[in-house]
Structure 1
Amino acid sequence: MDDYLARIGADRPQRPDLGALRVLHRAHLGTVPFENLGIHLGETVRLDDEGLLDKIVRRRRGGFCYELNGAFALLLRHLGYTVTMHAARTWGGDGYGIPFDHLALQVHLDGVPWLVDVGFGRFIHHPIRLDTTEPQPDPGGVFLVTPHDNPAGAPDLDITRTGGEHEYRLDARPYELPDFAPTCWYQQTSPQSHFTRSLTCSRLTDDDGRVTLSGNRLIRTTAAGRDERTLTDAGALEAYRAEFGIELSRLPVVAHPATPA
């Protein structure tokens, strides 16, 4: 776990409080990329503790939600935080997706539940409260948490960004990491999964913008706007190294390219 803290450039906190959680959350987003490269390099996503830490800490890679939030939960628990894992259904433009489509975390501090998520790409930069419906400003936007009735028990929580932009519907019930294995397998193998149909590697930058490499397209977004460049194959390999610290011997090839309509 000392290596994990060094990986994200964070000091070991003196106590498991909100201030330290905010620092750890932001540091993770700025150093460990949201990426699906392994799917297109023929790798298998492992959802066991050793596999998560080997990829993110020792091999200095990123991952998608199951990996990033799964590993972050290990770190937070080691540091003394009370963490539960929750399933979410992500918004797809015309409705919410399949159950267990996303893995997010709750951290419980002094009776307050906080949404923690380092595995959803462009989203919250810091934890937000789940026990209020008041708007919550964040560098990533202004977020709202709205209860949604669930006949199975406690209400689900809809996470939206001010302006009506839906993010996901969070299941209030806690789960364990193996519960996500079937959907994780679907996401890395199905031709219908957006993770098998495109490449992405993205992280927050120091100025709260983003740098993203999508195939050979390098995209930078800042408060001033968006810049996009198409790189050569050699340039893309160098960008993986320089922007994300990822050393690759070859470029990933999309597993199931989307068929034009």
Structure 2
Amino acid sequence: MPDALGPDATAAYLRRIGVERPAAADAESLRTLHLHHQLAVPFENLSIHLGQEIVLEEGALVDKVVGAHRGGFCYELNGAFAALLRSLGYEVTLLAARVFGRDGQLGVPYDHLALRVVPSDGSGPWLADVGFGRHSHYPLRFASRDEQPDPGGVFRIEETADGDLDVVRDGEPQYRLEQRPRELRDFEATCWWQRTSPKSHFRQSLVCSRLTESGRITLSGRVLVLTTGEGGREQRELAADEVLPAYREHFGITLDREPVVAPLG
């Protein structure tokens, strides 16, 4: 896939996530990029509730994350991250996945987008995913079937009978990953479904969440939740006039109106 980022756009993206340009596209630099992307760029679905289009093209995704200082959900975050990684010399393959629901059932096809990444040092491949909300802080070894401890939990990648891969965190399956290479346009139909279907959880609720050095901060509607890795949790409901300042303060997102979930119909 052609590189959508020139040197200036790559430099701007690195500033956005607070990382110096790596000297080499190696595994250690990938770990740094993966962590800092999640610390800087929130997982959010605000565009759905602001009536904004979601364009699955690398240039548009980078413009949103970098130029507009926004976040996004999986297609946007991992799509933009793929563009950054390619511009730095990594080999990146887009992969489709289906997310396990709370009932253990799989979601719709193309439910999730994740990345298979091969550094220039020949290490890996790695499973990189900065677009799943609460997930691994660092890339996972794609070919390993052992437990992989991470600050976000203990992960394991398990093979299925059909040749897919189940990504498991703390014993709970998170999503089922296909291994066939995909392109961004392959996800357009399901992205539209996520934005418009009353059955889509992204359509049913608001979320804006970012990893922090000590845990995670999440604004869901008007409920602000701060968690720490030691099990600490603070939660409070914001007043109407506190919502937009909270988006600016905690996520660097400036909005001209509060996003709200429209009635499902």
TM class, shorter-chain normalised?
over 0.9
Partner of 2:37: helix, strand, or coil?
A: helix
Query: Which residue of structure 1 aligns with residue 138 of structure 2?
Result: 126
> Could you give the per-residue CA deviations for residues 39-73 of structure 1, whole angstroms, max 9, x where no partner exists?
00010101112211111110000000000000000
> Could you give the per-residue CA deviations for residues 91-110 of structure 1, whole angstroms, max 9, x where no partner exists?
10221111100000010232
Q: CA deviation at 1:129?
A: 0.6
Q: How does 1:1-261 map to 2 (within 5 A)?
A: 1-94=10-103, 95-109=105-119, 110=122, 112-150=124-162, 155-162=163-170, 164-207=171-214, 209-222=215-228, 223-256=230-263
- 1:43 maps to amino acid: Q
Distance in 2 between residues matched to 1:219 and 1:112, nearest whole Å: 35
Contact residue 26 and residue 123 of structure 2 kept, 8 A: no
Distance in 1 between residues matched to 2:102 and 2:197, nearest whole Å: 20
TM-score by length of 1: 0.94
Unaligned runs of 5+ in 1: none
Structure 2 vs 1, CA of residues 66 and 256 (structure 1 numbering), >3 Å: closer, same or farther?
A: farther
Distance in 1 between residues matched to 2:29 and 2:58, nearest whole Å: 23
Distance in 2 between residues matched to 1:197 and 1:230, nearest whole Å: 19
Distance in 1 between residues matched to 2:19 and 2:262, nearest whole Å: 35
> Could you give the per-residue CA deviations for residues 202-244 of structure 1, whole angstroms, max 9, x where no partner exists?
000012x000000000001112421100001111111100000
Structure 2 vs 1, CA of residues 114 and 256 (structure 1 numbering), >3 Å: closer, same or farther?
A: farther
Distance in 2 between residues matched to 1:233 and 1:71, nearest whole Å: 32
> Could you give the per-residue CA deviations for residues 10-54 of structure 1, whole angstroms, max 9, x where no partner exists?
110000001100000000000100000010001010111221111
- 2:164 maps to amino acid: D
TM-score by length of 2: 0.93
Partner of 1:160: helix, strand, or coil?
A: strand
| Residue identity (%) | 56
- 1:229 maps to amino acid: R
Contact residue 217 and residue 225 of structure 2 kept, 8 A: yes
Q: Which runs of 4+ in 1 moved over 3 A?
A: none
Partner of 1:172: helix, strand, or coil?
A: coil
- 1:194 maps to amino acid: H
Question: What is the aligned-residue RMSD (CA, Å)?
Answer: 1.2
Q: CA deviation at 1:255?
A: 2.9
Higher strand share: 1
Would you say how many aligned residue pairs link Structure 1 and Structure 2?
252
Query: Which residue of structure 1 aligns with residue 5 of structure 2?
Result: none
Distance in 2 between residues matched to 1:64 and 1:74, nearest whole Å: 16
Q: Is the deviation greater in 109-118 or in 80-89?
A: 109-118
Distance in 2 between residues matched to 1:57 and 1:3, nearest whole Å: 7
Q: CA deviation at 1:174?
A: 0.9
Contact residue 33 and residue 244 of structure 1 kept, 8 A: yes
